[in-house]
Structure formats: C-alpha cells, structure tokens
C-alpha cells in the first residue's frame, strides 16, 4: 500500500471499486444473474456502472496477459466456425469501450465496411475492414484482448445447448480454457458441487439461451487465493498451488498480506451479428489485511467462511486454510486494531 501518492491513490481507487460479493452471512451457489450496468453501493464506494471497467491496473494487467500469451499461445483459441464471432466480439467490445470511455476511445464507421478505431490509452489508431484479417495487426480476439482487462469466452449456441468454442483466457481461477474448449456449458460445470441437484446450472443455461442483444446480464463469483496471482490456471498450478498448502505455516502478518479475496465480475452478452454468447470475466483481488480495514466486510467474510459447507470450500481450494482465515478475521475484530 506504500510507494508514494500515486500508489496510494491507486490503492484507494481499488478499494472503492471492489465488488464485495456477499449480501448476507452465508453463501450457496445460485444463478446469481441480474441486469448489467446497475451500480452497486458498497461500504467503500460502488461498482458495476458499466460492462467494461478500466482502472489503475490497466497497463500492468495487459502486459501480464501479453507475457502469458507469449509463453503459452494456447490461452487464445478460436475454432474455425467461430471466426465470425471473434469479429463480432471485437466490434461489440470496441462499441462498449467507446461508450464508456469516450475521452480516450472512439469507433468511427467509414464507407465500404471500414472502421477507424482509436484507443489513446494504448496509442492505437487503426483502420480496418470488418472481416478482413489482413487489415489488423493481430487476429481480432487478440487485438481487442490487448485492450480490455477482462478475459473473453465465446459460446456457440446449437442443438439447444451452449458450447465453449473460442476465447482468450489468461486469468483463469483453477481451470483450463484449453481443456474446456469445445465442451458444453453443462459438461464444464460437471465438477461443481451441489449445482446439479439444485438445478442451478440447467436454469442458468436456459436463461443464457434466452439472452437478447443489447440486454447484457452479469453475476459474481468468488474464492480465496494465495499470493495475489491473476493467472491461477491449471497449466501453472506448480507455480501457485504449493503456496496454498504452506500458507498455514506463516505468521499472522504474512497470512493477511498473502491470502486474497478473489472476486470475478462476469458479464454475458448476446453478440448481435452471429448470435453467439460472449462471457466476460474481470478479476479483482484484495488481501485480507485490506478487507479487514472495512468492518462490515471483515465481519461478513468471516461469517461466510465459517458457515460455508466443506464440499464448497474444498472445490474452491481453500479448505487447508479456511479455519485460519476465519480466526484471523475474527482476531482483527476482537483486538479492535482496525475499524
């Protein structure tokens, strides 16, 4: 949290816009879908005004994505039948960016199916012909993926189901985009506990199948994670996995700094030209030491973690240190060291 006034301002902005995900003292899986673009007030500020969100981490997160793709190009894949959807997604995201950040982003339609895209944050001024890859410096999904902090998944709709057939995913949380490519929505959620008995996944798919263009929806997802890494894909498990097995051995100060509440804000949009569903995943993280500074967050997170069923904690990957996290948060309240 140190490092000068700029770093302090960035940290304060990160707390103000953090999408704290709990409305009550317990948590169960649900469809958890609501209209996008509705701001949510929190104890520190608000979030959710727009589909896309650029913050102080923009340059660093895009640089990290480029580094990940450089090491592992399989994090972006587009099955051949999804190439039109990739163009559709790119143009849709450009329109969202231009509408949300008109001071720095602009999309102009020119004659003969040409466009001019300007992103002054990235120093980009690019003319292109829609559908013509020779007019872009990268494939369309790679080009726009280097300008948004969200991961992008494209789902094809056929035979009454949704299939993950394209995407650019560098910040997965304990899953693999490459492994899931080509799988159905129901298959991907097979390992999630409780959701099939309760019908949550079937209901979610039915809602997504009924999505209309220009009516985006959103939901949140959450977990605890160690180390603050954005890339928690199964491909990199040897880099981050051992940390969660050893975190119970560290002192309290290190525990509070290393264990993070990780929240995903997920947006779902029906693409207007191809009818595919675009699934955007934006990841936010705050360490427990920061969560503990906000009394309502500290108390609620402790209550949720204490009450969470064991199978859900195990699936989310923090069984080994769940009790320590509850005790750590409760001790901060008991000591009165933060309010």
Q: Could you read off the pLDDT of 223-282 as tens digits, one per residue?
A: 999 999 999 999 999 999 999 989 989 999 999 999 999 999 999 999 999 999 999 999
Above 90 in pLDDT, residue 204?
Answer: no
State residue 267's pLDDT score: 97
Within a domain: 16? no
162-178 burial, b at 16+ Cβ within 10 Å, e below that, comes to bbbbbbbbbbbbeebbb
Task: For residue 184, give both structure tokens.
Answer: 């159905």
Q: How far is CA 300 from CA 307, 319, 322, in A?
A: 11, 18, 14
Report the share of the chain in percent with pLDDT over 90.
82
State residue 29's pLDDT score: 84
pLDDT range class, residue 4, cuts 50, 70, 90 = very low
Within a domain: 50? no
Above 80 in pLDDT, residue 61?
Answer: yes
The enclosing H or E element of 244 equals helix 237-246
Beta carbons within 10 angstroms of residue 37's beta carbon: 14
pLDDT range class, residue 1, cuts 50, 70, 90 = very low
State residue 195's pLDDT score: 60
Within a domain: 22? no
State residue 113's pLDDT score: 87
**CB of 199 within 8 A of CB of 189?**
no
Above 60 in pLDDT, residue 118?
Answer: yes
State residue 324's pLDDT score: 96
State residue 339's pLDDT score: 41
State residue 248's pLDDT score: 87
Model pLDDT for residues 11-57, shown as the tens digit of each residue: 788 999 999 999 999 999 887 889 999 999 999 999 999 999 999 99
Within a domain: 19? no
**CB of 321 within 8 A of CB of 248?**
yes
Region 288-300 average pLDDT: 96
What one-character DSSP code corresponds to residue 29? -
What one-character DSSP code corresponds to residue 18? -
The enclosing H or E element of 67 equals helix 58-71
Q: How far is CA 9 from CA 6, 100, 290, 335, in A?
A: 5, 22, 14, 28
State residue 2's pLDDT score: 39
Domain count, the chain: 1
pLDDT range class, residue 127, cuts 50, 70, 90 = very high
State residue 196's pLDDT score: 58
State residue 152's pLDDT score: 98
**CB of 191 within 8 A of CB of 316?**
no
Identify any residues that bridge with 217 across adjacent strands, giving them in sequence order. 35, 268
Cα within 13 Å of Cα(76), Cβ side: 22
66, 122, 219, 324: which one is catalytic?
Answer: 219
The whole model's pTM is what? 0.94
**CB of 170 within 8 A of CB of 64?**
yes
Region 203-215 average pLDDT: 89
Above 80 in pLDDT, residue 217?
Answer: yes
Region 309-327 average pLDDT: 94
Above 70 in pLDDT, residue 338?
Answer: no
Domain of residue 203: give its range.
55-335
Above 60 in pLDDT, residue 169?
Answer: yes
Within a domain: 39? no
**CB of 141 within 8 A of CB of 166?**
yes
Gap between the Cα atoms of 55 and 112, Å rounded? 35
Above 90 in pLDDT, residue 173?
Answer: yes
Report the share of the chain in percent with pLDDT over 70.
94
Task: For residue 212, give both structure tokens.
Answer: 């209309």
Within a domain: 228? yes
State residue 9's pLDDT score: 67
For the chain, what is the mean pLDDT? Answer: 92
219 is catalytic: yes
Within a domain: 20? no
> 3-class DSSP state for residue 106?
strand
Dmax (CA) for the chain in angstroms is: 68
**CB of 327 within 8 A of CB of 295?**
no
DSSP secondary structure letters along 72-94: -GGGEEE-GGGHHHHHHHHHHHH
Angle at 146 between CA 12 and CA 88, to 5 degrees: 115
The enclosing H or E element of 243 equals helix 237-246
The enclosing H or E element of 261 equals strand 259-270
Gap between the Cα atoms of 162 and 40, Å rounded? 29
Please provide residue 228's backbone torsions phi and psi, each rounded to the nearest 5 degrees.
Answer: 75, 20
Within a domain: 159? yes
**CB of 109 within 8 A of CB of 21?**
no
> 3-class DSSP state for residue 53?
coil
């Amino acid at each position: 949290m140190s490092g000068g006034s700029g770093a302090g301002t960035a940290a304060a902005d990160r707390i103000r816009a953090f999408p704290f995900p709990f409305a009550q003292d317990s948590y169960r899986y649900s469809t958890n879908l609501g209209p996008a673009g509705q701001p949510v007030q929190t104890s520190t500020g608000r979030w959710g005004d727009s589909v896309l969100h650029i913050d102080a981490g923009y340059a660093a997160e895009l640089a990290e994505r480029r580094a990940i793709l450089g090491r592992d190009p399989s994090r972006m894949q587009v099955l051949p039948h999804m190439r039109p959807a990739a163009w559709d997604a790119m143009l849709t995201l450009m329109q969202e960016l231009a509408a949300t950040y008109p001071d720095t982003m602009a999309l102009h339609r020119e004659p003969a199916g040409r466009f001019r895209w300007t992103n002054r944050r990235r120093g980009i001024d690019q003319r292109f012909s829609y559908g013509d890859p020779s007019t872009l410096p990268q494939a369309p999904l790679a080009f726009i993926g280097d300008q948004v902090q969200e991961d992008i998944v494209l789902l094809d709709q056929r035979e009454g189901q949704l299939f993950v057939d394209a995407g650019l995913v560098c910040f997965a949380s304990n899953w693999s985009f490459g492994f899931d490519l080509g799988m159905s929505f129901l298959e991907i959620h097979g390992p999630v506990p409780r959701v099939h008995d309760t019908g949550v996944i079937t209901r979610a798919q039915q809602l997504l199948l009924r999505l209309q263009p220009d009516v985006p929806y959103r939901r949140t997802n959450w977990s605890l994670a160690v180390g603050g890494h954005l890339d928690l894909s199964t491909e990199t498990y040897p880099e981050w996995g051992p940390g969660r097995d050893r975190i119970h051995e560290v002192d309290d100060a290190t525990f509070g700094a290393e264990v993070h509440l990780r929240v995903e804000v997920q947006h779902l949009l029906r693409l207007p030209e191809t009818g595919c569903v675009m699934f955007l995943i934006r990841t936010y993280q705050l360490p427990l030491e920061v969560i503990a500074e906000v009394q309502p967050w500290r108390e609620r997170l402790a209550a949720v973690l204490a009450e969470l069923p064991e199978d859900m904690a195990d699936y989310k990957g923090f069984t080994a240190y769940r009790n320590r996290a509850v005790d750590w948060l409760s001790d901060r309240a008991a000591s009165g060291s933060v309010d």
